[in-house]
Amino acid sequence: MLSIGDFSQLGQVSVRTLRLYDEIHLFKPARVDRSSGYRYYSVEQLPRLNRIIMLKDLGLSLEQIATLMEDNLSADQLREILTKKQMEIEKELQENEARLARVEARLHQIEQEGQLKNYEVLLKTVEPQMIVSARQLVPTINDMYYSRCKLFSAIYNWFDQRLIEPQGNEFAIYHNTEYTEQDIDMEAAVVTDAKPPKNKTSVPVAGENVIVRELPGAREMASITYQCRPPDVGQAIVALYSWIAENDYSTDGAYREIHLYGRELDLKNYDPITIEMQVPVKKNAG
Amino acid sequence: MLSIGDFSQLGQVSVRTLRLYDEIHLFKPARVDRSSGYRYYSVEQLPRLNRIIMLKDLGLSLEQIATLMEDNLSADQLREILTKKQMEIEKELQENEARLARVEARLHQIEQEGQLKNYEVLLKTVEPQMIVSARQLVPTINDMYYSRCKLFSAIYNWFDQRLIEPQGNEFAIYHNTEYTEQDIDMEAAVVTDAKPPKNKTSVPVAGENVIVRELPGAREMASITYQCRPPDVGQAIVALYSWIAENDYSTDGAYREIHLYGRELDLKNYDPITIEMQVPVKKNAG
DNA sequence: TTGCTCCTCACGTCACGTGAGGTGGC
DNA sequence: TTGCTCCTCACGTCACGTGAGGTGGC
């Protein structure tokens, strides 16, 4: 018979651990002295302790181990638990690899610029939303502000005529698949809880009037939330697309800008604004 | 101004999280209503919240993030912390890969045998120990038991002559580098706290008399603790060496057997015994 | 009046590490 | 008597999730 101290040395576990395993009925001393409460162990108990340590080493919880040991290690159950654990570890490995890539991208960025930028690219999930929208081909980049205001005007008229209220922020959605400074296919939109009409196509066409449609969500949306004055959004857009390339993603839908500051029509010139730039993305294969 | 609920949706964090960040002075609401205690946030606070989320996403603790944000993100400090984090993640990756390999080895074993064996291979660290030992070339495998008993006899005589007591278990150490059934180079040893003589070589040579020496420790020691009757140790030895091969290790020192049951000399025939089989190992390169 | 949102505690998580405060045998 | 080992609480860990129990405005 060995004292708890001797046995803990033999088994390479702490005394505290042995007391814990006793408490949770996972591994009990061979004998406990009635009067002193001293725990005594025998060397024949070592294989069982080692089995516990081995299973813990595989990443199982003490509760899982207790279940397995009680059931006398049914092979099927064990296989099931180990297979599950295997998947968990593989998932963790992938997450850590992605995390490592992100840390390295940040370090790389610090090397180049000496500091962090004053905005961050985040990945988020966005649910689908009902929007009231109007779409137009904008001749040149200089007409953009004016065109957008006209579209928002039309949208708010639509609300006023129906005596209902918008339910959320303004969006500007850009449908061009490549960068262009003319014939920009822009959709202005406001979130609503109105129901869509049944007999109409759900995607507006440039030049058409105000319609109701569902704006698709995105499982992975790259996003920058940024404070600036209106002309300064370009820098952040560059950052957003650089991030996407550096982190091995590709765009997977139309770029959107969300006006977190309220209505563009109410904006005074050069008021600072908070906007969120979003683009759906997907991880590149392989 | 946004309520905590609205802001939590905008920022994609839970209400509880916002309250926690307030409590730990990491991210406070723009305004708190005196009478109701209601927290109010503004959209301009979003970039700061996003920075926090981004840093958390890299794996930093809230405490580290708080330090970084207070110090206005000194680039050097950030680089330092990220580099440290990078190493941490790489270490975690390696550990998880090793764990995954172990899980897969166990699954593989279950496939082959339908269940777990009644012994487990563990990796442990073993410290150097002082031993009193005697070494001999054993002509054939059949002489082993007799030779070992003779060596232990000599060792206990050594103790008796000096009127000191052994301090630990018996070891049997096998110095052959390959498996052999004759001319087995065996060392029998007992742990002691006696000091080694200064003018003697510290490694005994087969055929020499009883000496005192330090038995080296091992950073990584593959070990099986096993209950059996004396003739049945072979199976476990096979398991030990199979594990070493399957888990991409190589042996890195002499094989040892530790008698956890007491003295071999006192053993009656076919008493069940508990022994530990150990062999120092190192991970294969590449 | 009924929901809804907000508030403040406070427990639980997981496997121990680390005291605090006390006892029994050499 | 002084160490040494053992004992039993009980707090702390980390970033929240999840009630419990209560309040204020539509």
pLDDT digits (tens, 9 = 90+) for A168-192: 889 999 999 888 888 999 999 999 8
pLDDT band (50, 70, 90) for residue A253: very high
Across the range A135-145, mean pLDDT stands at 91
Cα–Cα distance, B218 to B240 (Å, whole number): 16
pLDDT band (50, 70, 90) for residue A204: low
Across the range A132-153, mean pLDDT stands at 92
Cα–Cα distance, A187 to A283 (Å, whole number): 26
Q: Is B44 close to A92, i.e. CB distance below 8 A?
A: no
Footprint of strand C on the protein (CB under 7 A): A 14, 16-17, 20, 36, 56, 61-63; B 3-6, 15, 19, 36-39
Give B10's contacts in chain A (Cβ within 8 Å). Answer: 260
Is B56 near strand D, with its CB below 7 A from some atom of it? Answer: yes
Q: Which residues contact B144 (CB under 8 A, 6 or more apart)?
A: B138, B184, B186
The H-or-E segment that residue A236 falls in is helix A233-246
pLDDT at position A88 over 60: yes
Residue ranges of chain B whose pLDDT lies below 70: 73, 114-118, 194-208, 230-231, 286
Q: Protein B202 CA to nucleic acid C10 C1', in Å?
A: 63
**Which residue on chain A is closest to B262 by alpha carbon?**
A43
Q: Protein B35 CA to nucleic acid C9 C1', in Å?
A: 18
Q: Protein A3 CA to nucleic acid D7 C1', in Å?
A: 13
Cα–Cα distance, B185 to B174 (Å, whole number): 6
Question: Do B24 and B66 contact (CB within 8 A), yes or no?
Answer: yes
pLDDT band (50, 70, 90) for residue A198: low
Residues 8-47 of B with CB under 7 A from strand D: 14, 16-17, 20, 36
Q: Is the pTM of this model over 0.85?
A: no
Cα–Cα distance, B163 to A250 (Å, whole number): 80
Q: Protein B6 CA to nucleic acid C5 C1', in Å?
A: 11
pLDDT of amino acid A174: 95
pLDDT band (50, 70, 90) for residue A123: confident
Give A86's contacts in chain B (Cβ within 8 Å). Answer: 100, 103-104, 107
pLDDT of amino acid A203: 55
Cα–Cα distance, A28 to A35 (Å, whole number): 17
**DSSP letter string, A60-116:** --HHHHHHHHHTT--HHHHHHHHHHHHHHHHHHHHHHHHHHHHHHHHHHHHHHHSS-
Protein-covered nucleotides on strand D (Cβ within 7 A): 5-8, 14-18, 24
Q: Is A246 exposed, middle or buried (0-12, 13-18, 19+ CB in 10 A)?
A: middle
pLDDT of amino acid A5: 94
pLDDT band (50, 70, 90) for residue A105: confident
pLDDT at position A27 over 90: yes
A223: phi then psi, degrees, rounded to nearest 5: -145, 140
pLDDT at position A230 over 80: no
More confident residue, A240 or A286: A240
Cα–Cα distance, B286 to B181 (Å, whole number): 34
Which nucleotide does the CA of A64 lie closest to, via C1'?
Answer: C14
pLDDT band (50, 70, 90) for residue A73: low
Q: Quote the tokens at residue A280.
A: 């759906």
Cα–Cα distance, B209 to B10 (Å, whole number): 81
Q: Is B120 close to A54, i.e. CB distance below 8 A?
A: yes
Q: Which residues contact B194 (CB under 8 A, 6 or more apart)?
A: B130, B132, B162, B164, B212
Q: Which position has the token pair 């009037």?
A: A209
pLDDT of amino acid B21: 96
pLDDT of amino acid B216: 92
Q: Is A106 close to B46, i.e. CB distance below 8 A?
A: no
pLDDT at position A68 over 90: no
Q: Is A47 close to B226, i.e. CB distance below 8 A?
A: yes
Residues 121-140 of A with CB under 7 A from strand D: none
- Average pLDDT of chain A is 87
pLDDT band (50, 70, 90) for residue A273: confident
Question: Do A256 and A278 contact (CB within 8 A), yes or no?
Answer: yes
- Preferred mutation among B13, B48, B49, B50 to probe A, highest tally of A CBs within 10 A: B50
